[in-house]
Chains A and B, each alone.
Chain A
Amino acid sequence: MIRALIHAALALMLALAPLPALAVQPDEVLEDPVLEQRARDLSQNLRCLVCQNENIDDSDAALARDLRLLVRERLVAGDSDAEAVAYLVDRYGEFVLLRPTTGGWNWLLWAAGPILLLLALAGAGVYLRGRSRGANPEEQRLTPEEEARLQRILDEGRS
């Protein structure tokens, strides 16, 4: 509830702000290029919570700037990438992750494509084998019963 209020307040501030700043600002950039690159890479996988489906790296929102600064703060404090992300997830929930985890039922999301692909390939294999019957004359051989019947008919005709 409180978080919802905070979000509403943030959204309101955003709407009232005359000119929002552009995404990453020069004053946010870290001195250490390696740390900065890590921050950029992480930012692209984190969602700006008040925006519609934008990552914090691209977003103009004030909250996105706060999150960008927070990520950099954690990295400077010596957090690993995973720890910095975990820090944000603890505070904002997994909604902040643009790349969903594989935990819980999410494995189904990740596996859905490969599973369907295997099923489709299997289905297509069965279909193609069915279609190729007759393309091979060898496969149209008579069964032993049919052979015997044919032989009988031929024999009858001969006698």
Chain B
Amino acid sequence: MITELGHFALILAFVVACLQGIVPLVGAHFRWPGWMAVAEPAATAQLLLTAFSFAALTHAFVVSDFSLRIVVENSHSAKPMIYKISGVWGNHEGSMLLWVLILALFGALAAWFGGNLPPTLRARVLAVQAWVGAAFFAFILYTSNPFIRLATPPFDGQDLNPLLQDPGLAFHPPFLYLGYVGLSICFSFAVAALIEGRVDAAWGRWVRPWTLLSWVFLTIGIALGSWWAYYELGWGGFWFWDPVENASFMPWLLAAALLHSAIVVEKREALKSWTILLAILAFGFSLIGTFIVRSGVLTSVHAFATDPDRGVFILGILVFFTGGALTLYAARAGAMQAKGIFGVVSRESALVLNNILLAVSCFVVFTGTLWPLVAEMLFDRKLSVGAPFFNMAFTPFMVVLGLVLPVGAMLGWKRAKPARVLRQLAPALGLALALMGLAWAMQTGRSLFGPIGVFLGTWLVAGAVTDLVARLGQSRDWRRLRHLPRADWGKAVAHSGLGITMLGVAGLMAWEQEDIRVARVNEPFTVGAYEIELLGVSRIQGPNYFADRGEVSVRRDGAEVAHVYPEKRNYPVAAMPTTEAAIDNGFLRDVYVVLGDAQADRAWTMRVYVKPLANWIWGGSLLMALGGALSLSDRRFRVAAGARKTTPAPKGVPAE
């Protein structure tokens, strides 16, 4: 019964979305306040209905209602409760329902917090948002309905893919969707602005918080996925340049570009049409990502539902929204008059360069991801484009970005004096060069990659610190540091985070040590600076799996630094084995121990890695997200300041 109510609520939400997509739009055109006002209650109703529908599906998973098809296919009565709940979005239909739930949530947030928007713009934003919602409601109802019952329910389910039964993965998709879908608000703002024919500094200020929010969520989502791959897949890879990873990475790159170009719109009223284009493309790439994951046109480790009908439907949504928005853009973008005037060497130009590097690197990822498809269709060649290509073609852009970032971040608006900035940055540059030299001297005969990473990491962190100190001016009054705008702190923290991530990636790739062997119980062996000893292996029973669990001692200079338990699990219902690597996390290195197959006379295959700076990759990502959040918290007083005065107050607006 609850299930049917949930199904019904979903249909109602679809109807409400259709209404919300039409009535406010007509109202905005004819300036009818009553019609425009429909948008807000409709957005709230859409959220409540979708939330009820999602709750109904969650209920079915929680009580293990095996009369529902997706519960049978993705759950099992013996599964721990957290994975029963995360199983709701661990499958195609349920994850689409989560997708529209977040879409409705963002629509409602825009309605609730959009009180200071001009009424026509607000009505149009909410209407465009509802169009996107309606398209996805239709997609769910017509091709991927989660509420389909089975005529003869089985006694138990087929269990969720064991790789997905993991806390990291329980939260990875919701964060990613918050990011993907958050970009839909930027898209709606862009399309609404094109319909209005007006983009000004106020528009930039409204769009920026949404971009920041989506980017923060995307950062966390991608970092969670990468961290999960690192500890779960059994050899510590953290990024595979898989099509589905690229699908989340492309919107991230564009969102990063967008949140920087929106600053220029906000502060200098320039780059308007480019920013609109970025907002359209960023969401367009979210849709492309959805298409890649759900259609199965590209082979990927994430092989989700691969159904041609669904692929065609999503392709239709993609073509309609991106194509429609780009057509509108072509017709209207010419009307956007840029106001701000600035010199060739200025913060504005630096942000243009940032946008070029991010957008072109996104394009490189895009070409590489789709090239196998293009080559097969046009040239009849079946080929692969894998990690080696991306490492070679993508990395240089990031290196250049890292090189110019600290300088660009400190250039003044309008007309900058580069010589002064370079003088201020000289100590940071010196420190970075010194540490690079040190890293170069300490390693022997290895690639340049490590020292370059050390240089970029130090340069970015020291550059961010220099920037903060420079904000204090001549006085060097350290107490003022606390009173700097949050946006300044956010900028420094996020840029340092990027540096730390770069350093982590470079360090891990350049200095990893690996050991593969048949290890006998109580016969220690050395890996790098560590001595490893397998103490024994026992058979254990988990809630829905059984496992061989090794007991391993990790010693350094005779003293034990860690006592770890790598497992090799088998999930009988899903008929799937997984390796649970044991990781001793450290600040400077991880020791990563994997238990393999049993060999003759009490020996086991073992793989041990020493992974330097591994945690810095995710630590840096978290710092980036934290920086974004800090910047976002700065928004409140800026928006309040803008609401009090009709013209945005230029005084005291922090440069970021």
Q: Which residues of A come within 8 Å of B, CB atoms?
A: 18-27, 29, 44-45, 47, 51-55, 58, 93-100, 104-106, 109-110, 112-113, 116-117, 120-121, 124, 127-129, 131-136
Do residues A19 and B577 form an inter-chain contact, with CB atoms below 8 A?
A: yes
A19 to B352, CA, bound (A): 53
Residues of B within 8 A of A18 (CB): 577
Do residues A109 and B385 form an inter-chain contact, with CB atoms below 8 A?
A: yes
Residues of B within 8 A of A124 (CB): 349, 352-353, 356
Most buried by A among B237, B385, B518: B385
Is B415 an interface position by the 8 A CB rule? yes
Q: Name the one of B242, B384, B597 contacting A19, with C-beta atoms under 8 angstroms.
A: B597
Chain B interface helix/strand/loop/mixed = mixed
Is B588 an interface position by the 8 A CB rule? no
Do residues A113 and B389 form an inter-chain contact, with CB atoms below 8 A?
A: no
A25 to B415, CA, bound (A): 61
Is B270 an interface position by the 8 A CB rule? yes
B302 nearest in chain A by CB position = A52
Of the A-B pairs whose beta carbons lie under 8 Å apart in the complex, a sample of 25, sorted by A's number, is A18-B577, A19-B568, A19-B577, A20-B577, A21-B596, A22-B579, A22-B607, A23-B235, A25-B605, A55-B386, A94-B381, A98-B388, A106-B375, A109-B368, A109-B389, A112-B363, A113-B364, A116-B360, A124-B353, A124-B356, A131-B270, A132-B343, A134-B341, A135-B341, A135-B415
A29 to B242, CA, bound (A): 28
Residues of A within 8 A of B382 (CB): 93-95
Q: Which residues of B come within 8 Å of A, CB atoms?
A: 234-235, 237, 240, 242-243, 270, 299-303, 338, 340-344, 348-349, 352-353, 356, 359-361, 363-364, 367-368, 371, 375, 378-379, 381-389, 392-394, 397, 414-415, 516-518, 568, 570, 577, 579, 594, 596-597, 605, 607
Do residues B338 and A131 form an inter-chain contact, with CB atoms below 8 A?
A: yes
Q: Name the one of B299, B344, B367, B577 contacting A113, with C-beta atoms under 8 angstroms.
A: B367
Name the distance in Å between B192's Cβ and chain A's nearest Cβ.
25
Do residues A99 and B386 form an inter-chain contact, with CB atoms below 8 A?
A: yes
Name the distance in Å between A47's Cβ and chain B's nearest Cβ.
5
Residues of A within 8 A of B361 (CB): 113
Given contacts A52-B299, A106-B375, A120-B359, contact A132 B381 (CB under 8 A): no
Q: Name the one of A58, A110, A121, A129 contacting B356, with C-beta atoms under 8 angstroms.
A: A121
Given contacts A19-B570, A54-B301, contact A97 B384 (CB under 8 A): yes
Q: Name the one of B371, B414, B568, B579 contacting A109, with C-beta atoms under 8 angstroms.
A: B371
Given contacts A26-B605, A120-B360, contact A104 B381 (CB under 8 A): yes
Residues of B within 8 A of A55 (CB): 386-387
Residues of A within 8 A of B381 (CB): 94, 104
Residues of A within 8 A of B383 (CB): 94-95, 97, 100, 106
Name the distance in Å between B352's Cβ and chain A's nearest Cβ.
5
Q: Name the one of B299, B342, B353, B385 contacting A100, with C-beta atoms under 8 angstroms.
A: B385
Name the distance in Å between A128's Cβ and chain B's nearest Cβ.
5
A54 nearest in chain B by CB position = B301
Do residues B378 and A113 form an inter-chain contact, with CB atoms below 8 A?
A: no
A20 to B576, CA, bound (A): 10
A97 to B342, CA, bound (A): 48
- 16 extra A-B contacts, CB within 8 A, seeds A18-B577, A113-B367: A19-B577, A22-B596, A25-B605, A45-B386, A47-B386, A52-B303, A94-B381, A94-B382, A95-B382, A104-B379, A109-B367, A113-B364, A124-B349, A129-B344, A131-B342, A135-B415
